[in-house]
Structure 1
Amino acid sequence: MPSPIAITRRPRVRALLAAALLLLPVAGIQASEFRIAVIDPNRIVEESPQYEEARAMLSNEVMEREAELLEQQEDLDRLNEQLERDGALMSEDELKRLQSDIRARKRRLRYAQAELQEDFALRQTELRTKLVKQVEEVVRQVAKEQEIDLILSEGLVYFSQRVDISGDVVERLKQEFEAR
Structure 2
Amino acid sequence: MSSSLVKNTFGKRKVGMLLATSVIGLTLTAPAVFAQANKTTAGAEKKTEAAAEVSSNSPLKIGFVNTEKILRDSAPAKEAQEKIEAEFKKRDEELQKLANSLRSKAEEFDKNVPVMTDAERSKAQRELADIDTDLQRKRREFQEDFNRRRNEAFSGIVDKANAAIREIAEKDNYDLIVQDAVTVSARIDITETIIQVLDKK
| TM-score greater than 0.5 by the shorter chain | yes
- Is residue 40 of structure 1 aligned with residue 32 of structure 2? no
Please, what TM-score do these two structures have when normalized by structure 2? 0.57
Map of 1:173 onto structure 2: 198
Within-5 A mapping of 1:107-122: 107-122=133-148
- Is residue 77 of structure 1 aligned with residue 103 of structure 2? yes
| 1:68 alignment partner, one of 58, 75, 94 | 94
My pick for the range that moved more, 99-108 or 135-144, is 135-144
The number of aligned residues is 160
Q: Which amino acid aligns with 2:200?
A: Q
C-alpha deviation, 1:116, in angstroms: 2.4
Structure 2: gaps of 5 or more residues: 21-51
Map of 2:155 onto structure 1: 129
My pick for the range that moved more, 114-123 or 84-93, is 84-93
- Is residue 26 of structure 1 aligned with residue 18 of structure 2? yes
Map of 2:175 onto structure 1: 150
C-alpha deviation, 1:150, in angstroms: 3.3
The secondary structure found in structure 1 opposite 2:173 is coil
Q: Which amino acid aligns with 2:156?
A: K
C-alpha deviation, 1:149, in angstroms: 6.0
Cα deviations by residue, 1:16-52 (Å, 9 ceiling, x for unpaired): 59x9998763343764999845242345444421122
Cα deviations by residue, 1:82-107 (Å, 9 ceiling, x for unpaired): 33334455566655443332221111
The secondary structure found in structure 2 opposite 1:148 is coil
Map of 2:28 onto structure 1: none
**Pairwise CA RMSD:** 4.1
Contact map agreement 1:76 1:106 (CA 8 A) in 2 = yes
Q: Which amino acid aligns with 2:198?
A: L
Distance 1:36 1:132 in 2: 23
| 1:98 alignment partner, one of 111, 116, 124 | 124
Q: Which has the larger radius of gyration?
A: 2
Cα deviations by residue, 1:89-140 (Å, 9 ceiling, x for unpaired): 5566655443332221111011112222323332332233221111112222
C-alpha deviation, 1:63, in angstroms: 5.0
Contact map agreement 2:169 2:177 (CA 8 A) in 1 = no
